[in-house]
A and B are shown apart, each in its own frame.
Chain A
Amino acid sequence: MIGAPLSYLSSAGRRAATILPLTWFTLCVSIAVCLIIATLVWIAARRARRAAPAEVAVEQRGDGVRWIAIGVILTSIPLAITLVWTIGALANVVGPPRRPDLVLDVTGHQWWWQVDYNGALPSDRFATANEIHIPVGAKVLVRLHGGDVIHSFWVPKLSGKTDAIPGQTNLSWLEADHPGVYRGQCTEYCGVEHARMGFEVIAESRDEFERWRAAQLQTAPPPVTAAQLRGSQLFEFRCSLCHAVRGTTAASHYGPDLTHIASRRMIAAAMLPNNPGTLSGWIENPQTIKPGALMPDQHLSGRQLADLRAYLETLK
């Protein structure tokens, strides 16, 4: 239960791990306080008798200020600990790493995440969507941008939330301790499909990461079969109005970059697993799967859809 995909009662990275003990501490203090107060109220109120209030004489036994004094003193102890611990933990997790191993630009759009990998040369740069690969143990600086409205970037197992606000750049950072797939989610209400604006962070070994990066840097291979060719023409004719595939004339950045769509685990902002069935369903009926999404239904014939899929499957 604690290990549920978005649960923050367990952690898998340094930033989240620094916060976790403080979360447990404040949680346990809170539960203890509630139990103590509930017990005090219960014991005091159990003495209540069934009588007409007006017939019970009024009497002032003691001024009771000692109760307040003791209560406030006892309250101070967890408050002081929490305050000091908070400032300490904040100092540890607030600042982005001075010398990050990897710098990413993540932009929130209605309702998907654009991920730009930076490099010294233009040829080292590439873009992907809704899937962030990082090497285990690397300090990753994430620069957050708002593409339209405000979104919030959250990978509970690795890091708390930071908003992606249009007009400013916010910083977050990630560092994964173990390889794994960690779910992320937009947590600032951003419109009708806010509920389905997920993403994944895939932490893998340095070697695997470098292999992935090398593959992502490749441009799309030219279509080979007749079906792929027809599919690529269809893509250029229709999909390229919004989507980009590097190495072709499709260069619009209104929607996710699809250069390596076939390599991704999930589609539709981490909503559906990426397989031919879901991909066809998504292309044909996005408005049924995700009502309000900015991608319109495509109304393709069965043959067109098969061609398009044949082409997209080459984009590994």
Chain B
Amino acid sequence: MREAAFRTPDIGDDTDVLRARLHAIWATEPGIKGWLGTVDHKEIGIRYIVTAFIVLALGGIEALVIRLQLAGPDLHLLTPEQYDEFFSTHGMTMIFLYASPILSGFSNYLWPLLLGGRDMAFPRLNAFSYWVYLGAVVFLYSGFLIGAGPNDGWFNYVPYAEKAYNPGFNQDFYSLGLIFLGISTTVGAANFIVTAFKTRAPGMSINRLPIMVWGTLTASVANLVVVPAVSLAFFMLWMDRQFGTDFFMPSGGGQPLLWQHLFWIFGHPWVYAIVLPAMGMVSDGLPVFCRRPLVGYSLVALATVSVMLLGFGVWVHHMFATGLPGLSLSFFSGASIIITYPSAVTVFAWIATIWLGRPVLKTAFLFFASMIVLFVIGGVSGFMTASVPVDWQLTDTYFVVAHIHYVLIGINVFPVVGATYFWFPKMTGRLMDERLGRWNFWTMFIGFNIGFLPMHLTGLLGMPRRIYTYPAGMGWSTLNMITTIGSFIFAVGVLLFFINVWKSWRSGEIAGDNPWGGSTLEWSVPSPPPPYNFAVIPTVASRHPLWEDQLQRSEARSSLRRGMTLDQGKEALHTSPIDAIPERIIEEPGDTIAPFLLAVAMMVLFYGMLLKSWWVIGIGGIGCLAALLLWLWPRRTMLERAPADRREAAHG
């Protein structure tokens, strides 16, 4: 066993001397090498967030072009091929490249601060997962830019995606790009799980976790289970296309429905994975503006987990029309109806929190509170599609398009924008502009509902999804025009948000440590937090360490200014998974360029596979091995290579 693991940590006060010492140990060196090599979770989190917002803007522009094409009957702004690439790329962008990474960004930034730790469990892996994500964005969009973007929707049904019907590079970009992205998601999920269970502050037992941690933890476990299914599906598709394996081609004995099972076994849990952390943001943020703890904490935490568990058993509701037997359909129909319960628990917990609290009007509050309504609209339309016979009419019409947008914009974008208003002061030290914030909220809220509420009716009147145009006289023309107008108002709202972020970042009001009177650990550190987060490791005595004096629930008080100093190196603490009892001191790795190099080499490898060029694949492969060697080379600072005399001493 390593020596440091059994040192009794020093207990000390939060002093300037200690802070200076920790700063010297933890700070990232300036310059390009430091920029490429940093493993600081806050730096990585902000990169995730910025990249995901840029991607959101790209997907939004695609959406506006789509809406222009559909504004009236028989318009020809785009050719059918272009339209198909636009709607497919829009789906891919929003679902894969925005919705999940933005939440990873917030979780990356916030988790160690929420949990009272100094970094994620695997900082280098964390950097790696960001670089791979960025690489996947570049890879997938390089296809779109050369006119070979995905063209079979984000769900990518076979056999249309097969070479016989889809001979271009489009599907090769898409299948390889998503396998590449899956690596990022998988390592990120593993990192979150270990971080949640091992790096919490002493005393932060599992019943004191912020709900957002529950959300991301649950989503991460789900991702770890289901991402392999979709990566496998895309790998099989790539094999079909390149080597004629015919997994999905009926002409060769393959089975088209196999794709749909593999895809939706991933796809439905994924939908929950991209909303549960955002629901957690609301569960944590809303109470701060209601000046009371969340109603029904345990029930909400359990609801989060049970949504996910039930979420594994509902994938067939995407396949009600595929001719599966009635008995199996009724099972999945029942599961899809029952999944309403945990959502109802969460919704009523939020409403009760506002009702029984003393709400304070801030932009973040508006986004969080309005999200409850949008969530319910998206929820009930989902409940309608859960009923098999009704779904046979609803499915693949604009009703489902309205549903998915209420779910993804309502339960992801609105909480995320609210969370940005909420945590921006922590990240930058400056408050966002409240006046611009109101304009931002109301244009987004009104524009969104003008755009997407009438879309339910468009669907009920029978407009099918994924059509590049429609004839006049179907009863859809006026509704589509309204939706297009609404979507542009919504886009203006999003633009106001970006303007507010930019403006406030440059010249916002100085925030201070805890501008909202928040209750959790991140508000106990300076804004922006120092590289080491906490000068002394806090010891937690309740769910709301900063509200203990006001709530007076018990005598116990969290200790935030005195605790373990862990300043003998880049040190952090491991605690037990359930009760967070200190177990051992661990050495955190320093900054290293290896994750970046590995991601670059993998990108070369994937481009090689795309071109089926064996020598490019070879270069990429050798590059990966070299980067891994650099990454895994034993280092004395990490105690991975103790000097000989010490090792003997340990044995002796």
Contact = CB atoms under 8 A, between A and B. Distances in A.
A65 B329 CA distance: 35
24 contacts: A2-B461, A4-B462, A6-B474, A30-B381, A34-B380, A38-B373, A41-B354, A44-B354, A44-B359, A45-B359, A51-B361, A58-B550, A59-B551, A64-B296, A71-B351, A82-B387, A86-B387, A146-B256, A150-B157, A159-B392, A166-B250, A168-B257, A194-B466, A195-B467
B349 A41 contact: no
A181 B467 CA distance: 23
B515 interface: yes
Contacts of B80: 192-193, 195, 291-292
B168 interface: no
A65 B393 contact: no
B14 interface: no
Interface stretch (B307-315, B318-326, B589-597, B611-619): B318-326
A54 B514 contact: yes
B347 A37 contact: yes
A6 B461 CA distance: 6
A9 B456 CA distance: 12
Greatest chain B CB density within 10 A among A29, A33, A85, A93 is at A33
Contacts of A163: 321-323
A6 B462 contact: yes
B472 to A, nearest CB: 11
A110 B160 CA distance: 10
Nearest to B396: A187
A255 interface: no
B341 A160 contact: no
A37 B373 contact: yes
Given A58-B551, A150-B157, A170-B322, A18 B389 contact: yes
Interface stretch (A20-28, A210-218, A234-242, A301-309): A20-28
A62 B361 contact: no
Contacts of A83: 333-334, 337
Nearest to A95: B326
Interface string B129-162: 0000000000000000000000011000101100
Interface string A173-217: 000000000000111111111110000000000000000000000
Interface in A30-70: 30, 33-34, 37-38, 40-41, 44-45, 47-65, 67-68, 70
Contact of A60 (B289, B293, B460, B514): B293
B306 interface: no
Contact of A160 (B289, B321, B354, B373): B321
Contact of B349 (A1, A68, A292): A68
Interface in A260-306: 271, 291-292
A94 interface: yes
Contact of A7 (B358, B461, B473): B461
Contacts of B160: 149-150, 189-191
Given A63-B295, A163-B321, A188-B157, A7 B460 contact: yes
Interface size class of A (residues with CB under 8 A): 35 or more
Interface of A: 1-2, 4-9, 16, 18-19, 22-23, 26-27, 29-30, 33-34, 37-38, 40-41, 44-45, 47-65, 67-68, 70-72, 75, 79, 82-83, 85-87, 89-91, 93-95, 110, 144, 146, 148-150, 152, 154, 156, 159-163, 165-168, 170-171, 185-195, 271, 291-292
Contact of B153 (A40, A50, A189): A189
A152 B551 CA distance: 59
A168 to B, nearest CB: 7
B360 A51 contact: yes
A61 B293 CA distance: 10
B361 A67 contact: no
B351 A40 contact: yes
Contacts of B347: 37, 71
Nearest to A168: B323
A90 B389 contact: yes
B373 A60 contact: no
Interface of B: 79-81, 84, 152-153, 157, 159-160, 165, 250-251, 254-257, 288-289, 291-293, 295-296, 299, 321-323, 326, 329-330, 333-334, 337-338, 340-341, 344-345, 347-349, 351-362, 365, 369-370, 372-373, 376-377, 380-381, 383-384, 387-397, 460-471, 473-476, 514-517, 519, 547, 550-551
Nearest to B329: A90
Nearest to B326: A94
Given A56-B517, A58-B550, A64 B295 contact: yes
Contacts of B293: 60
A67 B351 contact: yes
Nearest to A4: B475
B460 A9 contact: yes
Contacts of A291: 79-81
Given A48-B361, A83-B334, A165 B381 contact: no
B549 to A, nearest CB: 9
A86 B360 contact: no
A48 to B, nearest CB: 4
B396 A188 contact: yes
Contacts of A75: 340-341, 344
A165 B257 contact: yes
Given A30-B381, A54-B514, A68-B296, A45 B369 contact: yes
B291 A58 contact: yes
A26 to B, nearest CB: 5
B316 to A, nearest CB: 13
Given A65-B295, A83-B334, A187-B464, 13 more contacts: A30-B383, A51-B361, A54-B515, A56-B517, A64-B352, A68-B352, A86-B333, A87-B330, A148-B165, A154-B464, A166-B256, A168-B257, A189-B152
Greatest chain B CB density within 10 A among A19, A53, A65, A165 is at A53
B597 to A, nearest CB: 40
Contact of B355 (A6, A40, A58): A40
B173 to A, nearest CB: 18
Nearest to A27: B384
Contacts of A186: 464
